[in-house]
Amino acid sequence: MSTAAIGYHFGTTDALLIEALLNGLEKWSAVLDQSLTALPKTDLPEHLANVYRCVVQSFEGYRGVLAASFELMAQADDNERIRQELRRAVEHARSSLLGQILRSDSDPDQMHVFGTAGYAMLSGLIVQWLVDPDSLPTPEMVSSQLLQWNTQVGR
């Protein structure tokens, strides 16, 4: 594409790159959504392990997009469009992610709170995967520790 065509359609090459990155994030999100939706019904420990496995596998092929998304967040303070797009993506993740993981349609306020925590965990997992993917715990370890933590907290 010529510089003139980029200027006509996107305004600047930076705007084109932002558009491509947002498109890449949407594609990754759709892959993750489809993978989580396709998970078979299993008992909770196996389900949590499958969710974790599914999430980590969704990162494959999207390393550049996921890494660049953190740079995009840094630009959001200076660009209202980026901020709005990121808000939309975060809200979608909050509202759908936890429902897919827990297969629940709980109270919307409760889902928002839990979805926020789930999104924070997802973002943290992305960072860890980008920095040192070989040190991530196994899905079975994550599942058993989450269930053990839940039991201890529930006392």
Residue 91 lies in a domain: yes
pTM: 0.80
| DSSP label at residue 38 | T
Residue, of 147 and 5, whose pLDDT is higher: 147
- Find how far residue 89's CA is from the centre of its chain: 9
CB 58 within 8 A of CB 32: yes
Work out the burial of residue 26: count CB atoms within 10 Å of its CB; fewer than 13 is exposed, 13-18 middle, 19 or more buried: middle
Residue 139's CB is within 10 A of a number of other CB atoms, namely: 19
CB 127 within 8 A of CB 36: no
- What the block records as the tokens of 113 is 């709170």
pLDDT for res 94: 79
Residue 135 lies in a domain: yes
Q: In sequence order, which ranges of 2-107 are alpha helices (DSSP H)?
A: 3-10, 13-37, 44-59, 63-75, 80-102
d(CA 68, CA 96): 23
62-72: pLDDT as tens digits: 999 999 988 88
pLDDT for res 64: 93
Residue 98's domain spans which residues?
17-148
> Is pLDDT at 11 greater than 90 in this prediction?
no
Q: How many domains does the chain contain in total? A: 1
Residue 132 lies in a domain: yes
Q: Residue 60 maps to which CATH number?
A: 1.10.357
Residue 10 lies in a domain: no
> Is pLDDT at 28 greater than 80 in this prediction?
yes
Question: pLDDT category, 111, cuts 50, 70, 90?
Answer: confident
